[in-house]
Structure formats: C-alpha cells, structure tokens
Amino acid sequence: MSVLSGSIIVSDWHRFPDSKDFFGRILHKKRRRKFGLLEAPMMPPNMNVDTVRYKVFISGKTGVGKSSLAARLAGLDLPKVHYETTGAVTLSTFKGIDTTVVFWPVRLKESGRVLFFRFEFWDCGESAMRRFDHMLPSCKEQVDAILFLFSFTDRGSFEDLSNQISRITEPSDRVVKLVVGTKFDLFMHTDVTESDVTQFQEVWGLSVFRVGGDVSAGLGEVAPLLNALAENLWYQDCIAASSVSISPKADLRETDSEIIV
Ligand SMILES: Nc1nc2c(ncn2[C@@H]2O[C@H](COP(=O)(O)OP(=O)(O)O)[C@@H](O)[C@H]2O)c(=O)[nH]1
Ligand SMILES: [Mg+2]
C-alpha cells in the first residue's frame, strides 16, 4: 500500500519560498544540476541537513521509457532516439546497467526537518537482463524501491504489469512499489483508459503516476513522483526502525521514528 500523499512530507514544497535555498542546491542557471555517482550538492556548514540514500530499480520492457524516465527525473534532456541501454557510456556503469543519481530535498511535516534524498536509479536493458542472469539479482540487491513501468501507448505493457510485479517481487519483500505510466503526452493514442488505471489501483493498492512530454515544466513536473518515492521510503524506514533494533541506517531511523509513528 502506498502512503497517502502529503501525510508525512510537505507536498509541493518546491513552490514554497522557504524551499528556495534547498532546491537552489540542485539547480544551476534554472536548470537541474547533474550529479555523478560521487558528487553531492554543496551545503553550507550552517545548513543542518542529512542525506538519506536509496536504490531504486526501474523495471519494464524495452522501449517502455525506462531510460527516458531516469533522464526526466534527473532533469536532463530526454534521449530522442531509442537505443537499448548498453551501459557503455559512463564510468559509473557496468555492462547493461545505467545508474542515475538524483538529489531531492524534502521537508518533513511534523518536525519541519529538511532531508536530502539521494536516489540512485538503476536502469537495466531488458535484453541485457535476459542474456546475463546476474543482472536482475544485482538490480534487486538491497533495492529500496521499484518503479514498474507501462506505456499508455502499449496496452500489452499495462496488461503485463501484474506479471511483472509478481515475477520481480515477493509479497514479503520490504520494497516500495510505485507504478508509472509513460508516454501520457500521447494520450490521443492511448490504449489504456482512466477506468483501467483506477481499477488497477484498487486491486493492487498501488499508486499510478503519469509522465510524458518534455521536461521544460521543471520541478513541478517531477515533484509528484519524487515526493511520493521519498514519502513511501521514509515511511518504510520508520516502520522498519520500530520493529528492528539494529540496521545499517539505524542511527537515522531511530531518531526519526518517533516523529511520525
Ligand atoms: N512521447 C513520448 N515518448 C517517450 C516517452 N518516454 C519515452 N519515449 C520514447 O520512447 C522510446 C523508448 O524510450 P527509452 O527511454 O529508450 O525506453 P527503454 O528501452 O525502456 O529505456 C524513445 O524513442 C523515447 O523518446 C514519453 O513519455 N513520451
Ligand atoms: Mg533504456
């Protein structure tokens, strides 16, 4: 089940004046700053913000829009032509897997505390995944969240969602699951109706996000999905902290669990 949007963090915080200093850290000349695997936003010493790190796997068949979604969330220009993700382009990748780092500031509602979320999006080409059996396990290893993609222009990809979810996850997995419908800008050609989406949400208890179009809309365009990811991950951590006493992120989880639980 997804957390009700806006119950733990301030929704649309990017619109509030008090967020300007924080979002300024991920912008450069009004565009998004690009972060490599080892880079992080510059913080002045008097700005007391913690960074929490999460690994997010982007799942979906070839051509559904995985690489485009990663680029979109990072605020980068979208790749115009489709090419199968080979991972050959940057040092931070190994064959078949691309990683994209996205920083996103969030204000917790109760305490007013600001956190920087560092999402590492893992995007594996499907044919690479088929060829190399180690791909799926390494994408899934210590994964905190999975984005399940379908395309609004491909009904098959929507109908395959339940297969995809049960193939990749076990009901007992402690993983945040969100569903993203891509190519919503091509709604004139849509193969998936509003009632299909509503019904899916009811049956699975998962939120469906719609993306599409160019990234010129800025922060507002990616905020709903990034905020939902942050909110669900934070909630998952707080639940974990209240049931498990020792965990890698225990120091952070313990101090914060009382805030919202
Ligand atoms: N119109 C539109 N095209 C998209 C969108 N997302 C992806 N595409 C196009 O769909 C093709 C496949 O996208 P890509 O991200 O490479 O898919 P991947 O194989 O899952 O990584 C590319 O030509 C993209 O430009 C979208 O939201 N809207
Ligand atoms: Mg790709």
Rounded to the nearest 10 degrees, what angle do helices 161-168 and 194-204 cross at?
Answer: 30
| Per-residue pLDDT, 167 | 86
From atom 23 of ligand 1, which residue's Cα is the shortest distance away?
82
Measured on CA atoms in the order 59, 214, 84, 71, is the torsion positive or negative?
negative
Token duo for residue 68: 């485009």
Q: Check residue 79 and give its pLDDT.
A: 62
Could you please state the CATH topology (level 3) that the domain comprising 13-260 is classified under: Rossmann fold (3.40.50)
SS (H, E, C) the chain: CCCCCCCCECCCHHHCHHHHHHHHHHEECCEECCECCCCCCCCCCCCCCEEEEEEEEEECCCCCCHHHHHHHHHCCCCCCCCCCCCCCCCCCCECCEEEEEEEEEEEECCCCCEEEEEEEEEEECHHHHHHCCCHHHHHHCCCCEEEEEEECCCHHHHHCHHHHHHHHCCCCCCCEEEEEEECHHHHHHCCCCHHHHHHHHHHHCCCEEECCCCHHHCHHHHHHHHHHHHHHHHHHHHHHHHHCCCCCCHHHHHHHHHHHC
Nearest ligand to the CA of 68 is 1
Residue 243: predicted pLDDT? 75
pLDDT digits (tens, 9 = 90+) for 51-104: 999 999 999 988 999 999 999 999 887 666 555 555 444 433 445 788 999 999
* 186 ligand 1 Cβ < 6 A: yes
Which residue puts its alpha carbon closest to atom 26 of ligand 1?
A: 183
212 lines ligand 1 (CB under 6 A): yes
* pLDDT tens readout for residues 20-46: 999 999 999 888 999 998 999 988 778
- Is a pLDDT exceeding 90 seen at residue 191? no
Q: Which of 111, 175, 171, 113 is nearest to 142 (CA)?
A: 175
pLDDT averaged over every residue in the chain: 84
For residue 151, name the pLDDT band (cuts at 50, 70, 90): very high
Kindly give the distance from the C-alpha atom of residue 152 to the centroid of ligand 1, in angstroms, as a whole number: 11
Please give the average per-residue pLDDT across 158-182, as a whole number: 91
Which ligand has the nearest atom to the CA of 79? 1
How far is residue 249's CA from residue 142's CA, in Å, rounded to a whole number? 13
Where do the domains of the chain lie?
13-260
**How far away, in angstroms, is 233 Cα from ligand 2 center?**
24
Q: Residue 62: what pLDDT? A: 87
Among 104-113, 140-149, 214-223, the minimum mean pLDDT is found in 214-223
129 lines ligand 1 (CB under 6 A): no
pLDDT given at position 89: 43
Give the predicted TM-score (pTM) of the model: 0.86
pLDDT over threshold 50, residue 253 = no
User: What is the Å distance from ligand 1's center to 215 Cα?
Assistant: 13
From ligand 1's centre to the CA of 134, what distance in Å? 25
**Residue 119, strand partner residues:** 54, 102
Average pLDDT over residues 193-206: 94
Is any atom of ligand 1 closer than 6 Å to the C-beta of 72?
Answer: no
Residue closest to 51 by CA, chosen among 76, 92, 22, 30: 22
More confident residue, 141 or 210: 210
pLDDT higher for 178 or 187? 178
Distance from residue 139's CA to the centre of ligand 2 (Å): 14
